Chains A and B, each alone.
Chain A
Amino acid sequence: MPQNDEMNVEKNETAPQQQAPANLEPAEPAARQNGSTENKALGVAIAGWLLPGLGHALQRMWGRALVVFVCVGVLMLTGAAMRGNLFTSNGNDAFDTLGYVADLGAGSFYFLARAVERGGADVSHAGGDYGTRFLATAGVLNLLAALHAYEAARGRKA
């Protein structure tokens, strides 16, 4: 029995050496394929950022696509309906800029929310303050979903 184990170990150790020349030959096509996969993954991530759920839909992950679309949409519309603060690019301080980055994470839904919130923000009430959090969370959640779609497109287990 110990001899069998030793033989197995020996086989495992020698296996990579036997396969080494075969691995060297297709290096260039593999690199090209990796570059292509990376470009595709970047495209998927950008699509997922622009329209929540699109990154997953392009990979035929329909359930995840629908859930991301609905969740980001519900958060964004609720936040806008509660008259939360949608930050703009001309903020006064670092927190405004951070809020703008978070809000912009929702992609096209950011502009949709601006269209819904015609009366402007009203954070004098608690509802408006909650709305601001809803809007920022929608953006960050969409960024998370886009990153998830990117990793899935790169072949990582997702």
Chain B
Amino acid sequence: MSVASPFTMTHIEAFLLFAAVISVAFGFLGRRQPKDRVKYILWTFFLFVVVGIGIGWAMYPFSR
């Protein structure tokens, strides 16, 4: 009998959490002004999501 993981997330939840956390870290480390940080965070998050979903679809034909 397998022991269930105590904390489970779907792929998309893990993906969005990862993108959000890394975007915030990059924004604070890479920019100094609050306005620049917000813009950089949003842009990085957007790129993470778009590229991640793009790679996911690119792999779709090989998944079955």
Chain A residues within CB distance 8 Å of chain B:
63-64, 67-68, 71, 74-75, 78, 81-83, 119, 122, 124-128, 130, 133-134, 137, 141, 144-145, 148, 158
Contacts and interface: CB of A to CB of B under 8 A. Distances in A.
B25 A83 contact: no
B interface: dominant SS: helix
A71 B9 contact: no
A145 B7 contact: no
B25 A67 contact: yes
A67 B22 contact: no
Contacts of A71: 21-22, 24-25
Contacts of A125: 5, 8
A144 B6 contact: no
B18 A127 contact: no
A87 to B, nearest CB: 19
Interface residues of B, number: 17
Contacts, number: 60
B17 interface: yes
A89 B21 CA distance: 28
Nearest first, the 5 A-B pairs at minimum CB distance are A81-B7, A67-B28, A71-B25, A130-B14, A127-B5
Contact of A83 (B5, B14, B24, B28): B5
Contacts of A137: 18, 22
B18 A134 contact: yes
Given A119-B3, A130-B11, A64 B29 contact: yes
Given A75-B18, A127-B14, 4 more contacts: A71-B24, A83-B7, A127-B9, A137-B22
22 contacts: A67-B28, A74-B17, A74-B21, A75-B21, A81-B6, A82-B7, A82-B9, A83-B5, A83-B6, A83-B7, A125-B8, A126-B11, A127-B5, A127-B7, A127-B8, A127-B9, A134-B14, A134-B18, A137-B18, A137-B22, A145-B25, A145-B29
Interface in B1-48: 2-3, 5-9, 11, 14, 17-18, 21-22, 24-25, 28-29
